[in-house]
Chain A
Amino acid sequence: MDISLLLKMAADCEPERIGLTCEGRAWSFTELWAAATGAARLIEESGCSHVALLDTSSEAASIALFGAALAGVPYCPLNYRLADEDLVGLLARLQPALVIGDVARVRRLGPADGFTLLARADFVRKAEAAADAGREPGAGEGIAVQLFTSGTTAAPKAAILRHANLLSYILGTIDFGSADPSEAALVSVPPYHIAGIAALLSSIYSMRRIILLPAFDPEEWLRLASDERATNAFVVPTMLARIVEALNRLDPAPNLSRLRAIAYGGGRMPVELIDRALELFPNTGFTNAYGLTETSSTIALLGPDEHRAAHQASDPAVRARLGSVGKPLPSIELEIRDDEGHVVSAGAPGEIYVRGPQVSGEYRERSALTSDGWFPTRDAGYLDDEGYLFLSGRADDVIVRGGENISPGEIEDVLMSHPAVADAAAVGIPSSEWGEAVAVAIVSKGEPSSTDEELRELIRVRLRSSRVPERIARFEALPYNEMGKLLRREVKRMLQENC
């Protein structure tokens, strides 16, 4: 069946319960369902092959997601922060499309041939007016969602998630209607990110009210969490850093006593930051979720009890788990393999492979799955003796120096332990002697700043001489995308220019 089943069940079970609030307006599950059925009609009438959303978060994203599912057309939320030339390229890959949101921008960008354009308010109004009470979820044989990957290392790929992938993720991880009517999830991730889509689907299936924050701002996040009595939230690490910083600044502090659960993911969480957050929110359960677009969101998680246990532990192995992404979900298989494709033992590094019904591993152009259904994530990592998964960056980011594989993460972690280092990135740069040499970009904090010799000595003592950077350069800040992902391509460029 298609993913609109999730919303239909909520609407059948608790028709009047509020499913979503956005900018002062509340939508019951029935109202959302009615609008989705109307949207399906609009989509069918447009004759489009894709439904594109070019907009910040609003009720329109939910209505378009489920409407597209009912109509059997892929839903493709686009990154509205993209530069014009990049956006034009993506739009061309979606033709003919129904585009919802910033129609003025699409018109300005070029030929509107093959595009039906609807501004957000027009789309929602027309969808409500076209509601079709008798509509039922369909067979869901095809593609539910198409997301362009962020392209931090290469050109964006069109990852596709089938109805079966998303449904098996939601049905395998969430108990229907398990949220108490007082529960509400604050959703501040953008609609074009897999976490934004997973948040809608999982909140609706658990019947937890969604509170949308269209554009993340730490003070606005805190105000909304307090005023709307949020019990759950998902953030990326950079959002959490800004929330913690704002919380220290605000007087009086907002009332977050109802906030029972904060989940985070989408990028590397500095251990100092999660330690700090655990102290600032003593009654909140933290969950670290690791997943990829191609895996329908979460494949491993570190739960609230494991966070507290690691935070308070004196045993270094337990303590270290605060830097892990926890254990794989029971509904998937996960292995670490070496370069030859052999499964390695606990503690040994390699590439993370996953398999399971939620794993798509498919792009518009090709499937990345092996013949027996495993997805090579291109993420590097290892499992500890107890099965906790540790990430060490993208496999493509591994620095190969004189035939030795070096994970940037291990160098960065050591550099970050220096009191005068605020941020650090290690990359490989071309070297005639070694093939690749280790280069690090440092952001300093406080006075006095670190010397190159101190940093080299730190790496030599804590790691080994092959990890000692050949080049060290200092910058005001490192380049991140809006989801907090370090742009390593950009760091490489900065380091190669700075010589």
Chain B
Amino acid sequence: MKPGMKLKSAVCDTEVMVIKVAPATVFSCGGAPMVDDRAGDKGALDAAFSGGTQIGKRYTDAEGSLELLCIKAGAGSLAANGTALQLKDAKPLPASD
């Protein structure tokens, strides 16, 4: 896995782009590991990971070493190695172009 690649939720509509990743990370959404491409039916959403994702928002771990950008919203929420990722605050810059 590397920055710039797309991952899809196996249980909801969520799609993300990987921004930062560390070796041996398993990203999950809605409680199920995310996949490169979803084949067949969606699995069941885990109620413990059902907060939902928002398009255009970034999600990160406590250390800031992992980061995902949501490019399509869905009903599941994101986690890395079983730990929920948090919404990252935007630090807006003035428009420069």
Contacts and interface: CB of A to CB of B under 8 A. Distances in A.
Contacts of B95: 185, 202, 206, 208, 232, 261, 263, 287
Contacts of B69: 171
B94 A285 contact: yes
A129 interface: no
Interface in A1-55: 1, 5, 8-9, 12-13
Contact of B17 (A1, A234, A298): A1
Which of B56, B90, B96 has its CB near the most chain A CB atoms (within 10 A)? Answer: B96
Contacts of B91: 330
A178 interface: yes
A27 B43 CA distance: 38
B5 A175 contact: no
B93 interface: yes
A336 B92 CA distance: 26
Contact of A199 (B3, B6, B97): B97
A298 B97 CA distance: 8
B94 A9 contact: no
Contacts, number: 78
Interface of B is mostly: loop
B71 interface: yes
A164 B56 CA distance: 17
Given A1-B17, A5-B17, A12-B72, A167 B4 contact: yes
A191 interface: no
Contacts of B17: 1, 5
B55 interface: yes
Please report whether the interface of chain A is mostly helix, strand, loop or mixed according to DSSP.
mixed
Contact of A1 (B6, B56, B92, B94): B6
Nearest to A136: B6
Interface string B48-72: 0000000111000000000001011
Given A175-B90, A178-B92, A234 B97 contact: yes
Interface residues of A, number: 41
Contacts of A463: none
A1 B56 CA distance: 15
A329 B55 contact: no
B96 A13 contact: no
A466 interface: no
A345 interface: no
A171 B97 contact: no
Interface residues of B, number: 20
A303 B56 contact: no
Contacts of B97: 195, 198-199, 202, 234, 263, 265, 289, 297-298
A356 to B, nearest CB: 13
A180 to B, nearest CB: 12
Contacts of A177: 55-56
Interface string A198-217: 11001000101000000000
B21 interface: no
A322 interface: no
A202 to B, nearest CB: 6
Nearest to B72: A12
8 contacts: A8-B71, A13-B55, A163-B4, A167-B4, A206-B95, A261-B95, A263-B96, A301-B94
Given A297-B97, A303-B94, A329-B93, 19 more contacts: A1-B17, A5-B17, A12-B55, A139-B4, A164-B4, A171-B19, A173-B93, A173-B96, A174-B92, A185-B95, A198-B97, A199-B97, A232-B95, A287-B94, A287-B95, A287-B96, A301-B94, A304-B94, A330-B91
Interface of A: 1, 5, 8-9, 12-13, 137, 139-140, 163-164, 167, 171, 173-178, 185, 195, 198-199, 202, 206, 208, 232, 234, 261, 263, 265, 285, 287, 289, 297-298, 301, 303-304, 329-330
Closest 10 pairs between A and B when the two form their complex, measured CB to CB: A176-B56, A289-B96, A198-B97, A175-B90, A298-B96, A287-B94, A303-B94, A199-B97, A263-B96, A301-B96
